[in-house]
Structure 1
Amino acid sequence: MSTPINLNKVRKDRARAEKKARADRNAVAFGRTKAEKDAVRRREEKAARDLDGHKRET
């Protein structure tokens, strides 16, 4: 005879696994570290400054 299982535990484990999978998908889609965001922001600001520096005065 097999051992009985707790259906509440199974349900909660399944919900936990789905939540973790969703979090992993979001991390891939949206996740960047603060350092990466800052680096991109600094690079964009430098590109804008360089472009403004090359403008001709009329």
Structure 2
Amino acid sequence: MGEVVNLRRARKQKARNEKERLAGENRALHGRTKAERERDRLTSDRAERFMDGHRREKSGDPDGS
């Protein structure tokens, strides 16, 4: 005879394992460290300031004079 298995526990354990596997895939695909996020934010802020400083007319001036 085989081992007695509680089907409710087995089903819940299978769901937990699947959820953990999916979370691992998502971490690998979308996860970024805090340093990477900060670096990207600083880079975009620097680029935005550069573009704002090189505009021909200011954004608050509607007629350009």
Shorter-chain TM-score range: 0.5 to 0.7
Partner Cα separation in structure 2 for residue 19 and residue 12 of structure 1: 11
Aligned pairs, number: 58
Partner of 1:30: 30
Partner Cα separation in structure 1 for residue 56 and residue 26 of structure 2: 44
Q: Among the aligned pairs, what percent are the same residue?
A: 44
Question: Highest CA radius of gyration, 1 or 2?
Answer: 2
User: Could you tell me the TM-score, scaled by structure 1's length?
Assistant: 0.68
Structure 2, unaligned runs of 5 or more: 58-65
Structure 1, unaligned runs of 5 or more: none
Cα RMSD, aligned residues only: 2.2
Deviations 1:9-49 (A, max 9, x none): 21011100111112112212322122211111111222333
User: Could you tell me the TM-score, scaled by structure 2's length?
Assistant: 0.63
Partner of 2:39: 39
Partner Cα separation in structure 1 for residue 3 and residue 27 of structure 2: 38
Q: Whose helix fraction is larger, Structure 1's or Structure 2's?
A: 1
